[in-house]
Amino acid sequence: MPGERAAVGSSVEAVFREERGRLLASLVRRFGDLDLAEEVASEAIEAALVHWPTDGVPSRPGAWLLTTARRRAVDRLRRDRVLATRLAVLRAEAERADHAPPADADRDLPDDRLALFFTCAHPALAAQDRGALTLRFLAGLTTAEVARAFLVPPATMAQRLVRAKRKIRDARIPFRVPGDDELPGRLPTVLQAVYSVFTEGYAASSGPDLQRVDLAEEAIRLGRILRRLLPAEREVAGLLGLMLLVHARRDARTGPDGAMVLLDDQDRGRWDRPMIEEGRELVVVALTGPAPGPYGVQAAIAALHDEAADVASTDWPQVVALYDVLLSLLPSPVVALNRAAAVAMRDGPEAGLVLLDELADEPRLRGHHPYPAARADLLRRLGRYDEAAAAYRTALALVGTEPERVFLLRQLEAVTGRP
């Protein structure tokens, strides 16, 4: 029946979305090849779509998919002796470097997923390729979504992913968690990739929705895996705390009509208080000790917002002070933009506008719609409505999602006095 097949298709999609990281990681550990892992995982999904409508969804669908994928991989290796020989060499080298027991489909596989994180973030790969691989294989973004995150055409991203996978294969990059001496140099790339997934979920780059909650929650799940496996790393705690504190506001960020609602106007009673408390506890962990990292500082800023009863009672001097620290750790025009907005709340819109105008020639802000939107808001607050309208129009030309477009149109109508 079409309806039954559609329901089964939804079940398969839900299972694969939940299991994709561990499925791919287990397959890569077993066979040492990302291409092969991707192909047989897809074939397992196709097999599920054939068998589950008649046989029923198995009680352990993830294990079913993994077993099916492994069988397909073995069949392919039997047919392709060249591939089998190459993978045998890779497997032998991996076993010499890592004596971990083989993955078991019956148990949770966080270690395998962590190893896949670090494979994708290996220093032998180009910096832009590391992030792209992690988004593609750990977060499950499509090639088009990864391309959008990196602001390149999908065809370019597809070529980049192929090149990166070839590099992993040809350089025989091991599939393992790095040792203590390697970890500090490779962990920041992993954290940045997870945060990139979260930011695409929190503020989608394009489309009909402001948020992609599934991506944000996927990033939080990945952050929890990293936190469980690397409990001594304070920046892991900082990243997870930051994501929780920001995601706690998800239900209040859009109105009944789907339009964006700014922090000033959000119903804070709709914020997720248990998530906020968990995030605040992680902030304490992230900031306990010398030299806090950028994720810990950003989490502390988010906590100040979440703790305040309203915008007026937010501790803006402390927010600005934390942005000063963040700017020293992470010099960036985007951080400077956020700091200018905080200064405007502390010292008034004129002070914030001066700082924003100093950023006018920053190349990274030219296509970044929050910059003209922030200028427009400060100009509106100063009563400079014609200039505000021009800035809103600039932001509208750059905005990617429909809820943000609707919000900016309403702001533009307010300052021009006409629909």
**How confident is the model at residue 3, as a pLDDT?**
58
What percent of the chain has pLDDT above 90? 44
How many beta carbons lie within 10 A of that of residue 253, not counting itself?
A: 20
Residue 1 pLDDT greater than 80, yes or no: no
Cα angle 310, 221, 101; round to 5: 155
Do 240 and 43 form a contact (C-beta atoms < 8 A)? no
Q: Name the 3-class secondary structure at 401.
A: strand
Residue 20 pLDDT greater than 80, yes or no: no
Question: What structural domains does the chain harbor?
Answer: 2-99 (no CATH), 332-418 (1.25.40.10)
Considering 23-27, 38-42, 332-336, 364-368, the range whose residues carry the highest mean pLDDT is 332-336
Averaged pLDDT, 25-34: 85
Q: pTM here?
A: 0.78
Residue 385 pLDDT greater than 60, yes or no: yes
pLDDT tens digits for 178-194?
887 888 888 988 898 88
Q: Side-chain half-sphere of 283: how many Cα atoms within 13 Å?
A: 21
**How confident is the model at residue 151, as a pLDDT?**
61
Cα–Cα distance, 271 to 254 (Å, whole number): 12
Say which residue, 285 or 255, is predicted with more confidence.
285
pLDDT tens digits for 219-267?
898 899 889 878 999 999 999 999 999 999 999 999 888 889 999 899 9
**How confident is the model at residue 162, as a pLDDT?**
93
